[in-house]
Amino acid sequence: MAYDNMEEYIDPSRYDIENQGHPELGLILQAISAIEGPIVDLACGTGRLTLPLAEAGFSMIGIDLHEGMLETARSKALARGLDIEWLQANALNLKLKSRASAFTMVGNSFQHFLTQEQQLNLLRQINHNLAPDGLLIFDLRFPSRAELATSAREDLAYTYKDQYGQQCSVYYESRYDPVTQIQHNTTYRVTKLSNGGKSTDDSRIDLRFTYPQELKLLLAQAGFELQAWYGSWNGVPLGEDYPSIVVVCQRGKNAC
Ligand SMILES: C[S@@+](CC[C@H](N)C(=O)[O-])C[C@H]1O[C@@H](n2cnc3c(N)ncnc32)[C@H](O)[C@@H]1O
C-alpha cells in the first residue's frame, strides 16, 4: 500500500495519551462567542477540541479522513451524551449540506497538506463551505531555526505511562528539506513491558512548514481576510521565540 502519512493515527488511544489538554480552548471560545450556527472541527481526530466545544453548547460537526480516529471520537461523544455530527471526509473535497458559521482546524493539522497547491485547495474548500463573514481558526508550528534543526534518534524526548501503566520512552528523529519545506519525522517508542520484556513501535510523519508571509498570501488567494495571528494559543505576538502560528481569519467580502 502507498505511504499515506497516517501512521501517527494507527492507535487512536496512543494518540490520546500523547496529545492531552486543550490549550486552544480559551482563545477559540473568545473568538466564537457570538457564533450561533454550526461549527466544523476539521481534521478533528479523536475529538480533542470537538468535544469540549460541544460541551460549551456549540452545535458541532467533526470531520476527519481517518476512520479509527473518528470512531474513537464518536464513542467518546456517546459516552459523554454529546450530540455531535461526525463525517468521514477528505478536507480536500468538502461538500457540506449547508454552510458552517465557523471552522476550526487545530493540532497543526494544516501541516498535513504537503504542497502549496494542496494548502490553497484546502483553504478554498473551507472558504466555499463557510457562511458570509464565517470564521476560520487554525494553527501550525512556527518555522523557527530550533524547530527545523535536525534531531537525532539518540535524544530522549519524553516518557509517559501507557494505558497498562507501562513506561514508554519516546525518541524523535527529524530532517527538514528546505526546498519542499517538508520535515520528515520518525517517532520511536520503547516500552518496558510489565512481563519484563521490551516492545518497540515506530511511526513516520511528514509535515510542511509555512512562513508567515507565504501564509498571508495563501489566505488572501483563498478569499480570507486575516483578523489576527499569534505565536501561541496564549495570544502572544507571532515570532521565532514562540511555537506556533495561530490564525484567526474571516471569509472575505468578495469570496464566492
Ligand atoms: C495531528 S491530528 C489533529 C487531530 C485533532 N484536531 C487534535 O488536535 O487532536 C491530524 C488529523 O488530521 C487528519 N487528516 C489528515 N489529512 C486529512 C485530510 N485530507 N482530510 C481530513 N482529515 C485529515 C488526520 O486523520 C488526523 O486525525
pLDDT digits (tens, 9 = 90+) for 3-38: 899 999 999 999 999 999 999 999 999 999 999 999
- What's the mean per-residue pLDDT of the chain? 96
- Report the percent of the chain where pLDDT is more than 90: 94
Q: What is the pLDDT of residues 121-166, one digit of tens each?
A: 999 999 999 999 999 999 999 999 999 999 888 778 999 999 899 9
- pLDDT at residue 163, as a whole number: 87
Nearest to 59 by CA among 80, 82, 75, 76: 82
Collapsing DSSP to helix, strand or coil, 101 comes out as strand
Tell me: pLDDT of 255 over 70.
Answer: no
Instruction: Summarize the confidence of residues 186-206 as an average pLDDT.
Output: 96
To test ligand 1's pocket by mutation, which of 60, 63, 66, 185 has the most ligand atoms within 8 angstroms of CB? Answer: 66
- pLDDT at residue 154, as a whole number: 78
Q: What is the pLDDT of residues 181-190, one digit of tens each?
A: 999 999 999 9
Ligand 1 binding pocket (C-beta < 6 A) is 9, 19, 43-45, 48-49, 64-66, 69, 90-92, 106-109, 112
At residue 1 the predicted structure's pLDDT band, cuts being 50, 70 and 90, is low
Closest C-alpha to ligand 1, atom 3: 107
DSSP 53-90: HHHTT--EEEEES-HHHHHHHHHHHHHTT---EEEE--
Rounded CA-CA distance 133/131 in Å is 6
Instruction: Summarize the confidence of residues 203-228 as an average pLDDT.
Output: 98
Tell me: pLDDT of 61 over 70.
Answer: yes
pLDDT-wise least confident of 47-61, 113-127, 139-153: 139-153
Rounded CA-CA distance 207/115 in Å is 10
To test ligand 1's pocket by mutation, which of 112, 118, 119, 125 has the most ligand atoms within 8 angstroms of CB? Answer: 112
How many whole angstroms from 190 Cα to the centroid of ligand 1?
A: 25
- pLDDT at residue 156, as a whole number: 87
